[in-house]
Amino acid sequence: MKEVDREEAERWLEAFKPLCEQASVFIHSVTGKVNADGLPTDLTALPEVILRLSPILKSVNKVPKPRHRELRRLKKDLKLTLDACIKASKWRIKHSRKASRIRLSATVFWTSLAISFSESLARKLALLSGDGGEA
């Protein structure tokens, strides 16, 4: 990578990483605490997840599109993770108020996507940081 490209990538990451760090606790509230049915278990945290992740998603959308493919994929994974977490939270709240098959299916679907996207994001962040471990 050229020196100019490396500096640009580092500047981009300086703007991007704090957003990942802000979102990580709320992402974990959805993806880290799932029951045997595939539903997020912490109902008390879900309204806050929606409240906190929505502005973070807007901020991620405002981050300029990076030149490097790996960074574009990283941004895309974070956007997909945030969106899936927000939707999983909304569907889980709806399902808790009035259970139905469609609400259960939608909740499980969005929770599964949130887990998958967050795992992909964690792997890419770990590779980028060079430690090979969890992000």
Name the phi and psi angles at 34, rounded to 5. -120, 135
pTM of the full structure? 0.88
Res 85: pLDDT:
96
Asked if the structure places residue 135 within a domain, the reply is no
Q: Is residue 43 predicted with pLDDT exceeding 80? A: yes
Domain total in the chain: 1
For 88, other C-beta atoms within 10 Å of its C-beta total 29
Res 100: pLDDT:
93
The mean pLDDT value of the chain amounts to 88
Structural domain of residue 95, as residue ranges?
3-129
Asked if the structure places residue 134 within a domain, the reply is no
Share of the chain above pLDDT 70, in %: 93
Asked if the structure places residue 19 within a domain, the reply is yes
Average of per-residue pLDDT across 49-78: 93
Which pLDDT band, with edges at 50, 70 and 90, does 3 fall under? low
Q: What angle do CA 71, 72, 76 make, to 5 degrees?
A: 115
Q: How far is CA 107 from CA 68, 77, 84, in A?
A: 34, 19, 10
Alpha helices in the chain (DSSP H): 3-31, 46-62, 69-97, 101-129
